[in-house]
Structure 1
Amino acid sequence: MRGRHCRSGRTGRKRRQKQQSHVDSVSLCHQPQYVRLMRFLHKQGFVSTLLQPALFSDTGRGLQTLKTIKPGQLLISLPESCLLTTATVLSSNLGHYIKSWRPRLSPLLALCVFLVCERHRGEASDWFPYISVLPTSYTCPAYFTDDVMAVLPASVRRRALDQREAVQEIHSSNLDFFRSLQLILSLPVEDVLTYEALRWAWCSVNTRSVFMSHPSNDFLSGQDVYALAPFLDLLNHRPDVQKSFCLQVKASFNNTTRCYDIRSVSGTPHFQQAFINYGSHDNQRLMLEYGFVAQGNPHSVVYVDTDLLCDALKRDRSLDQKIKFLRENDFLNNLTVSSEGPSWRLMTALRLLSLPQTLYHQWKAVLLGQAVSEEREEWSLQTARTLCQCLLQDTCKALDKIFFLLQHCDQLTREQLEVVQALRQEEKCILGSCLEALDGMWGQRDGLLSCQPDVGSVS
């Protein structure tokens, strides 16, 4: 019996591993744009024998292993001459205009303008092989329509609107500089350096550049840490890469060889996708900065913003005073819930909000994580549950609205909605699990109240 159990266990594990690791993929190496890209990079001294561009059924474009990879193995060594940096821009025909312009441009704007002008040149551009494989549009908030913005969570909508407005401001505030470039453009500058073109370039740099510190110079203003890395930027992010059947890699610039290196962290068989980890980012940040949502992201949470807190506790006559106190002590930021329940910061904020004036003197104890009394703890847990229910109701309404919009939209809007839909569906799961966790906490306590306390009595 024990032997049969062991065999069954091994078979089950192998079956599960096969299901988890099986992803359809198609090589992109023979497509004309990738042939041009590899020829362009080979001329600069780059050769890749371990990874190839491929299209994966779960993530889209990425890089696939051609051979069995060992931990610590060097996979990519991209020469500095292959990197598109501000040094590239300043040495181009744009360099004279940028160097003489006042006020000085930011490194980000310099790269954006270069991308737009080089795309305008088409095949005459040395960088055409790279630009031709860049996405033609993005699912970052800068691209979102008003309808898509409206179905975002409130906590992320403001930041999404800020992003869109920031790109609009960059375009509108640099029109004079754009006009100065008319001599090197074959069409009117208004037809080349449009808001749409700058938005595309901004998203290209913001979502695809790697970190590379550059020395300051007299021609640009601000920190210069951007580098666009052809081929290397095909690597996809995976938050749980250490726990999955795939190749984990790390990136860094080698100052000795002057190459941007990608080295394996884990080993993997051939024909697997290589992934890089951008960091411990939740899905809201991934969507804002990169335009995608990662499935099964262990870092994802749902945010509770100040407006929701105030709305839930509006009957508390001393609410303004308490909110001011929380703000002054930096306890209104990063209030979250996860699948395990409310965060420590959220529960601490709720405990502070639960204090009547007669117990204000206990605020230091609360900040140290102490519960004031059973009654106040009950109030805090019930309020956390109310907040989760409000967030869940908003999420369900948004998902219904997204379903309707998906029936009446073009392809670009569909792609944007699908990203937001994935974010909202994840939030729905997190909030459902959080409510279950709160029920467990509630059930463990003795003498709990059968209904929500009157918030007005807190003051």
Structure 2
Amino acid sequence: MGRTKRKRQKKKGSISRNVRDASPECIRNASWASSHGLLTANLDVYIFPETGRGLRCRRNIKTGTCLVSVPHHLLITVDKAVSHCLKRLLRGVENQLNHIQLLCLFLIYERCLGSDSYWYPYIAMLPHTFTIPPLLNEGEMSLLPSHLQDRADGMKVSVMEQYDDMQRKVSFCDQLIHLVTLKDFKWAWSVVNTRSVYFGDEKRCQGIASGSMALAPYLDILNHSATAEVEAKYSKLTKRYEIFTKTSYRKGEQVFISYGAHNNDTLLLEYGFILKHNPHSTFQMDEVLRGIAAGNVERKNAILKGLNLTCDLSCTVDGPSWKLMTALRIWNMSNSELVHWQTVLQGHVSDKNERLCTEQLTLHCINLLSTIHKAITTISTQPHSSLHSSCMAIQLEYKHIVQNTINKLQAVVL
């Protein structure tokens, strides 16, 4: 065999191996979507070292290029779920179910059809499990950062409430009652929560939204990047959901989309992963004021509420946020300073006030470091998993942020 032929076969084998690693289900989904009208900017499925499965461009892509265009008939919309054969089983109850419940029913019903389902190539590619709170057991929940526990518990409760509500409303239909188990509903809810797109004016709110939402086969192969700039919209003219890039890509690079300017807390809870070097990373310190004694508490709380300074008090790698420092300055105001509290908006109240804020926040951060170290030690003793890795990484990120905040505060004192 000649050298040229060997090189050609080696190159061909390398490409096919990457395609095979992407799983037959993923390739089948891409081929199926393409054969039913999906258009892409010369993208193919590829396994990347950092992110795993993603989409790679086969040529240079310019700013303004449409990356992916999904025809309306490939979108699993709420309207489609309502007009589905499920309507016969629901007997008008569909009007009493919210959009997430309807999409969940649709997914579960179609998954039960197996290869007989029109949507089989898409559904077969979907993950069998997720690392978000509704699907975590007690041991896995304990790995989550302590300040996220309430949010995580809230997600679990919300899913249970939606499931119970749906079961009550479809209790007249034995077929649906037996078809939709709690396990199946949690899976379907996770699919909708992590993969739905919105093409109306509605906004996502803790994973639950109404209005124009849909699942878009193929789009969920695209990975999230904090730096990706895209415009996603539904074109009433072409009847397609389209994603346009606002950045350029070179041949062979991975193409990304953005889920929004989320910190790693939100990414971990809502999507089950975190980003290394996330520019939106924060460490929440909403509880910082609780341990600090103060006078005129009622007046100060009213001011904080009026300025929206009762939540989202945080630090980043650059130190404490404006909201955090402003809240502390107001909380530490003397009676005379409180008369002219608006001066805080200029960033400084008095030297004494500033010293108190710096000392209190430094002490709080030192205590936080101790808590973070304990969490890291606990996680290190647990069995390894993707959730384990994410929880360890986010605690190390917290440590970096809090230590940087201490360093910034000490630099101010010096």
**TM-score using structure 2 length:** 0.87
Counterpart Cα distance in 2 of 1:153 and 1:427: 10
Residue pair 2:132, 2:269 contacting (<8 A) in 1 also: yes
Counterpart Cα distance in 1 of 2:77 and 2:285: 39
- Find out whether 1:398 has 2:375 as its counterpart: yes
Residue pair 2:43, 2:55 contacting (<8 A) in 1 also: yes
Name the SS of the counterpart of 1:330 in structure 2. Answer: coil
Deviation for aligned residue 1:265: 2.4
Partner of 1:5: none
Partner of 1:348: 326
2:398 to 427, 444, 458: 427
Deviation for aligned residue 1:432: 1.3
How has the CA–CA distance of structure 1 residues 270 and 249 changed in structure 2, closer, same or farther, with 3 Å as cutoff?
Answer: farther
Name the SS of the counterpart of 2:139 in structure 1. Answer: helix
Partner of 1:337: 315
Moved over 6 A (4+): none
Partner of 2:184: 197
Deviation for aligned residue 1:32: 3.0
Partner of 1:224: 211
How has the CA–CA distance of structure 1 residues 321 and 196 changed in structure 2, closer, same or farther, with 3 Å as cutoff?
Answer: farther
* Superposed counterparts of 1:415-454, under 5 Å: 415-443=386-414
- Find out whether 1:26 has 2:18 as its counterpart: yes
How has the CA–CA distance of structure 1 residues 69 and 49 changed in structure 2, closer, same or farther, with 3 Å as cutoff?
Answer: closer
Partner of 1:9: none
Counterpart Cα distance in 2 of 1:425 and 1:66: 36
Counterpart Cα distance in 2 of 1:353 and 1:71: 48
Deviation for aligned residue 1:121: 1.8
Partner of 2:364: 387
Deviation for aligned residue 1:402: 0.8
1:170 to 118, 140, 162: 162
Partner of 1:87: 79
* Superposed counterparts of 1:31-430, under 5 Å: 31-48=23-40, 50-98=42-90, 100-101=92-93, 104-183=96-175, 189-190=177-178, 192-213=179-200, 223-241=210-228, 249-306=230-287, 308-311=288-291, 313=292, 315-316=293-294, 322-323=300-301, 326-327=304-305, 329-366=307-344, 368-406=345-383, 414-430=385-401
Name the SS of the counterpart of 1:162 in structure 2. Answer: helix
CA deviations 1:168-221 (Å, max 9, x no partner) are: 1111222133444434x6xxx34x312121111111111111112399xxxxxx
The amino acid that maps onto 1:251 is: A
Name the SS of the counterpart of 1:77 in structure 2. Answer: strand
Counterpart Cα distance in 1 of 2:283 and 2:100: 31
Deviation for aligned residue 1:124: 1.8
Task: Judge which range, 58-67 or 415-424, deviates more.
Answer: 415-424
CA deviations 1:363-409 (Å, max 9, x no partner) are: 2322x2343321111001111112222222221111111111236xx
Counterpart Cα distance in 2 of 1:359 and 1:264: 50
Counterpart Cα distance in 1 of 2:106 and 2:172: 14
Identity %: 30
Partner of 1:10: none
CA deviations 1:221-248 (Å, max 9, x no partner) are: x83221111111211111134xxxxxx6
Residue pair 2:196, 2:214 contacting (<8 A) in 1 also: yes
Residue pair 2:29, 2:122 contacting (<8 A) in 1 also: yes
CA deviations 1:66-120 (Å, max 9, x no partner) are: 2222222233221111111112212211123446117611111100111111112
How has the CA–CA distance of structure 1 residues 372 and 265 changed in structure 2, closer, same or farther, with 3 Å as cutoff?
Answer: closer
Counterpart Cα distance in 2 of 1:34 and 1:345: 45
Partner of 1:449: none
How has the CA–CA distance of structure 1 residues 110 and 298 changed in structure 2, closer, same or farther, with 3 Å as cutoff?
Answer: same
CA deviations 1:310-354 (Å, max 9, x no partner) are: 13x2x5576577446534653211111111111111111111111
How has the CA–CA distance of structure 1 residues 126 and 182 changed in structure 2, closer, same or farther, with 3 Å as cutoff?
Answer: farther
**TM-score using structure 1 length:** 0.79
Residue pair 1:249, 1:274 contacting (<8 A) in 2 also: no
Counterpart Cα distance in 2 of 1:351 and 1:131: 53
Residue pair 2:300, 2:331 contacting (<8 A) in 1 also: yes
How has the CA–CA distance of structure 1 residues 370 and 297 changed in structure 2, closer, same or farther, with 3 Å as cutoff?
Answer: closer
How has the CA–CA distance of structure 1 residues 320 and 28 changed in structure 2, closer, same or farther, with 3 Å as cutoff?
Answer: farther
Name the Cα RMSD after superposition: 2.5
Deviation for aligned residue 1:296: 0.8
Name the SS of the counterpart of 2:55 in structure 1. Answer: strand
The amino acid that maps onto 1:124 is: D
Residue pair 2:61, 2:248 contacting (<8 A) in 1 also: yes
CA deviations 1:394-439 (Å, max 9, x no partner) are: 21111111111236xxxxxx22222222221111111111111111
